[in-house]
Amino acid sequence: MNHFDVIVIGGGASGLMCAAVAGARGLRVKLLDKANKVGKKILMSGGGRCNFTNLYVEPDNFISRNPHFSKSALTRYTQWDFIALVDKYEISTHERKHGQLFCDDSAKEILAMLLTECDQVGVSISVKADINSITVNQDNEARFHLETSHGALSASSVVVASGGLSIPTMGASDYGYKVAEQFGHKIFPLQAGLVPFVFSDGFRDISNRLSGIAIDATISVGDVSFTEAVLFTHRGLSGPAVLQLSNYWQPGQDIHLDLLPGLSVPTLLLEAKSAQPRIMLRTLLARHLPKSLVAELEPLFWLAEAEKPLAEIPDARLSDIAGHLGGWKLKPSGTEGYRTAEVTLGGVDTADVSSKTMESKLQPGLYFIGEALDVTGHLGGFNFQWAWSSAFAAGSYV
């Protein structure tokens, strides 16, 4: 009775999906989760409405040392496949900016759907399950032996779906990486992703004073940039553009904030100088930016000219000021870390995992799916799509 065709470790997005897909093939599936409930991150995702996929899924929406790795799984189980499943359950949904799809009512519906899919094919789910060890023997039928808090279990395949490190209070653990290392897999350095920046220099006071204000801006590091809402917080910067950029930022790097995206700031200032020579810079800029932000910028960038009309500011100074407004250089001291990060960057090196089946090339019968792998999506439903697609790939082959 304690033997299964497949044991799935982790009952999050990818684990539940994989268990349902494998179960639908007639396999006997056991799913183990160490938390007291499965699918906790699904429930808290998208502000409780679960941004479950995106209409425009492209390989470019994923970050990995091997940018080709995700292509096969994403092609074989697409956003349209998941949307069809959601439609089958008559879950009402809506599209937000940039093709992001959310539930109208609650993320609970996505979890309930996955649990029904598992239930219908007889997946056995155990929560509060600690796995003490995984060992391998030569018997292909019972290749894996697991010592767990629910007793000894055996299986011909094991799927590691234990996710990343973000939000430890939701049950996140490094277990998947430990299993990977046990079987000789390389782990790329782990880093909090889709996470707000914090500052320890003078900008921290500025952001604190502006806390709650959001502007549309372009934020960049190196040659990567995102244009969307940037939110000032008590400790630094957040908002969609900032979360996206955090996936590309390395500690120590400067970031640049273009406060007036889509505008040529030098032209704006020089044209205003000739059209309205008596206007003050703060008055002009307050037409484009919140007044409180302009009040913070003034002592930083045009203190000496604060009380001068544009006519009295030389063109060279105006273009200097424009340079600051279009490229405010800031140095985050770090990020808010795994406490608030939506994802974990890095993870199991995909070089030793089949992109078609997600099976380990080092240990037959062992599979890695979801966030544990070195594949991280942009903000916008891409991380769940990776969970569904990688789970489908593994669930179809285990």
Length of the chain as a residue count:
398
Are 313 and 279 within 8 A, CB to CB? no
Return the residue of 23, 46, 236, 346 that touches ligand FDA, per CB under 6 A.
46
Closest distance to ligand FDA from the beta carbon of 21 (Å):
13
By CB atoms closer than 10 A (0-12, 13-18, 19+), residue 378 is buried
Closest distance to ligand FDA from the beta carbon of 141 (Å):
24
Residues 6+ apart with CB under 8 A from 225: 218, 219, 245
**Helix and strand totals (H; E) in the chain:** 13, 21
Distance CA 25, CA 10 (A): 20
Closest distance to ligand FDA from the beta carbon of 90 (Å):
21
Among residues 121 and 387, whose Cβ is nearest to ligand FDA? 387
Task: Please choose, out of 46-54, 266-274, 294-302, 312-320, the segment that lies near ligand FDA by the rule CB under 6 A.
Answer: 46-54
Among residues 161 and 219, whose Cβ is nearest to ligand FDA? 161
| Residue ranges in 350-389 that form contacts with ligand FDA under rule CB under 6 A | 370-372, 381-384, 387
Compute φ and ψ for 155, nearest 5 degrees. -160, 155
| Residue ranges in 307-346 that form contacts with ligand FDA under rule CB under 6 A | 342-343
Q: From residue 6 to residue 35, what is the string marking binding to ligand FDA with x (rule CB under 6 A)?
A: ---xxxxxxx----------------xxxx
Closest distance to ligand FDA from the beta carbon of 343 (Å):
5
Among residues 65 and 96, whose Cβ is nearest to ligand FDA? 96
CA dist list (Å): 38 to 43, 115, 123, 346: 10, 9, 13, 24
Helix (H) or strand (E) holding 215: strand 214-221
Please give the residue ranges that form the binding site for ligand FDA (CB under 6 A). Answer: 9-15, 32-35, 38, 40-41, 44-46, 50-51, 131, 161-163, 166-167, 171, 173, 175, 342-343, 370-372, 381-384, 387
